[in-house]
Amino acid sequence: MADLAARHARVADDVERRVLAVLRSGRYIGGPVVTEAERRLATLFGYAHGVGVNSGTDALIYALMAMGIQPGDEVIVPAVTFFATAEAVGRIGAIPVVADVRDDLPLLDPGTLPLTARTRAVIAVHLFGEPCPLPALPVPVLDDVAQAAGASPPARTGSVGAASFYPTKTLGAAGDGGIVLADDPAIADAARKLASHGMPAPYVHDRVNGHFGANSRLDAMQAAVLLGHLADLDARLARRRAIAAAYDAGLPEDVRPLPRGPGHPVHHYVVRTPGRDALAAALAAAEIETAVYYRRPLSSEPALAGGHPAGAVPNAVRYCAEALALPVHECLTDGDVDRVLDTIRRAHSRTRAE
């Protein structure tokens, strides 16, 4: 599903030059490299300001805090997403309210959002890079764009975002990293203070929107790695889109790719099929890795059992039973793609014969 060594080889000279320059500079926390990375990453995702933090999860946490979310507030999250989306809400003492997704895509269904008088925010996850459009809402929207690097136009609904640079992301660091994104400079300033011990000034520590700060900064070496990888992003996107087009053309009819709009970055290529587990087993037997994003709705996670509002999520249940992600990273060869398709077609033929 990923080949990080091969990816590094594509940009090794530039990345290693940048990292060595940071090491020799002695400026490892903050500094011009981090400032440049924050500026360029904010532009990539379509925001005015960026605040580097040490993970995508922390980006969600500090974005929520900077938006003024408080303990006991309810925040709507989609039923299909990585657990960090709900985890971030719970970590600040707020309450994640799990909402069902659309029947055609695992994105929040704007027609069934469980908005109440207690709702204080909605997290729109742009899953796999597909934009999650929402109408005007009476509460702010936090855009989780962790899988949407390179979406054109940028995938966003509100004025605050959060992204992850976990190594396997289309744009990934050489370790953990994340960024809080905002149009409002006050939101960015609040996030920066929260991620640096709540310091409005050197050696002065205060609460921000009632929250204690902590230590969560994007370090200069990870910023240097990201700047080096940015130069390869357009080529990665083009290759991923070409692989996705080959899959689209070669898959059997009942192995259905999720709909993709123009400019989709193809962070993951996900299909739906009633025979998901058998297909995954056939691919594994051919030494082809696959993944399931995700095996159960958030509402089924043990950490959210009891004490959290829980509604029915039938669309999410159906999606989680059928979804399978195929390899789509930029280091795949045409021969690799052909082998994936040949294996799927053979497995499909055997199933029909049986």
pLDDT in tens, 11-47: 999 999 999 999 999 999 999 999 999 999 999 999 9
Q: For residue 105, name the pLDDT band (cuts at 50, 70, 90).
A: very high
Domain layout of the chain by residue ranges: 4-230, 233-353
pLDDT at 279: 96
pLDDT at 213: 96
Instruction: Give yes or no on whether 4-230 and 233-353 have one common fold.
Output: no
Instruction: Please state which architecture CATH assigns to domain 4-230.
Output: 3-Layer(aba) Sandwich (3.40)
pLDDT at 309: 52
Q: State which CATH number among 3.40.430.10, 3.90.1150.10, 3.90.79.10, 1.10.10.60 fits the domain covering 233-353.
A: 3.90.1150.10
Can you give the pTM of this predicted structure? Answer: 0.95
Report the 3 state secondary structure along the chain: CCCHHHHHHHHHHHHHHHHHHHHHHCCCECCHHHHHHHHHHHHHHCCCEEEEECCHHHHHHHHHHHCCCCCCCEEEEECCCCCHHHHHHHHCCCEEEEECECCCCCCECHHHCCCCCCEEEEEEECHHHCCCCCCCCCCCEEEECCCCCCCCCCCCCCCEEEEECCCCCCCCCCCCCEEEEECCHHHHHHHHHHCECCCCECCECCCECCECCCECCCEHHHHHHHHHHHCCHHHHHHHHHHHHHHHHHHCCCCCEECCCCCCCCCCCEEEECCCHHHHHHHHHHCCCCCECCCCCCHHHCHHHCCCCCECCCHHHHHHHHHEEEECCCCCCCHHHHHHHHHHHHHHHHHHHHC
pLDDT at 305: 76
Q: For residue 178, name the pLDDT band (cuts at 50, 70, 90).
A: very high
pLDDT at 350: 76
What's the pLDDT tens digit per position in 245-304?
A: 999 999 998 899 999 998 999 999 999 999 999 999 999 999 999 999 999 999 999 998
pLDDT at 324: 98
pLDDT at 244: 98
